[in-house]
């Protein structure tokens, strides 16, 4: 039977989500190894691929489970007992046609950073930027909303069927000393969120301009593909 699981993980301990030939410390490989210990041999499919150092509070995966594993609560317990830095939050049975990636309608990411000093205990989970202009940041975030061709806002070397994505909502929150940026979209290209965050913050620092942002969005000229540090980025929610 096919099951859907929601997991959270500490991305600082892994070389990304996707399986790699040269590295064993990826989310996919670690989960599949844990499943094999329970006599479950299945490839897992994720709702999205997170880069090395990027975290997830609600990543969705799906995989096949033999029928002798009817007790999914016990399965969750055994996986969580074996895994470190990855936690299964829930496991439910789904239709055989369910696909974590292709069935998803929207994805939500959040980016957390501070302008004050970052504690040694926060370094793997929060990024740091200098003091910035909030009004400029909000304008830059609004410019990303809507349907755009994000060809100039993706990591080079990535190939996709189309670079057009729709960003339904952007949001900024300030909670005490923490600054949080949210993006909700139908999908994201490789490293797109990190590039957008870095671009928007650099506009707020007056290192880039809103005009340059629009030129890059309209494929007139690529001004920057700088990446925001991965430690501040979290895959927050998958909407089906």
Q: What is the C-alpha to C-alpha distance for residues 17 and 29, in angstroms, rounded to an integer?
A: 8
CB atoms within 10 A of CB 2: 16
Report whether 74 contacts 3 (CB < 8 A).
Answer: no
Active site residue 124: no
The structure tokens listed for 54 are: 């990027």
Q: What are phi and psi of 48, to 5 degrees?
A: -170, 160
Query: Tokens representing 146?
Result: 């809507």
Catalytic residue among 10, 25, 43, 51: 51
Question: Distance (Å, rounded) from C-alpha 204 to C-alpha 192?
Answer: 18
* DSSP tag of 202: H
Catalytic residues: 51
């Amino acid at each position: 039977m096919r099951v859907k699981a929601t997991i959270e993980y500490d991305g600082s301990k892994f070389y990304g989500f996707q399986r790699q030939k040269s590295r064993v410390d990826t989310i996919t490989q670690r989960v599949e190894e844990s499943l094999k210990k329970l006599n479950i041999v299945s490839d897992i499919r994720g709702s999205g691929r997170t880069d090395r150092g990027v975290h997830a509070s609600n990543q969705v995966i799906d995989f096949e489970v033999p029928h002798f594993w009817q007790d999914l609560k016990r399965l969750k317990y055994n996986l969580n007992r074996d895994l470190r830095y990855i936690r299964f939050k829930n496991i439910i049975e789904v239709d055989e046609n369910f696909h974590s990636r292709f069935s998803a309608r929207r994805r939500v990411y959040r980016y957390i950073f501070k302008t004050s000093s970052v504690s040694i205990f926060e370094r793997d989970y929060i990024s740091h930027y200098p003091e910035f202009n909030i009004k400029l940041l909000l304008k830059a975030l609004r410019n990303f909303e809507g349907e755009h061709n994000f060809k100039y806002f993706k990591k080079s070397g990535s190939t996709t069927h189309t670079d057009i994505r729709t960003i339904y909502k952007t949001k900024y929150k300030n909670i005490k000393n923490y600054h949080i940026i949210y993006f909700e979209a139908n999908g994201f290209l490789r490293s797109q969120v990190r590039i957008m965050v870095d671009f928007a913050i650099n506009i707020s620092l007056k290192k880039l301009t809103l005009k340059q942002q629009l030129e890059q969005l309209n494929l007139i000229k690529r001004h920057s593909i700088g990446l925001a540090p991965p430690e501040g980025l979290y895959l927050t929610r998958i909407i089906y």
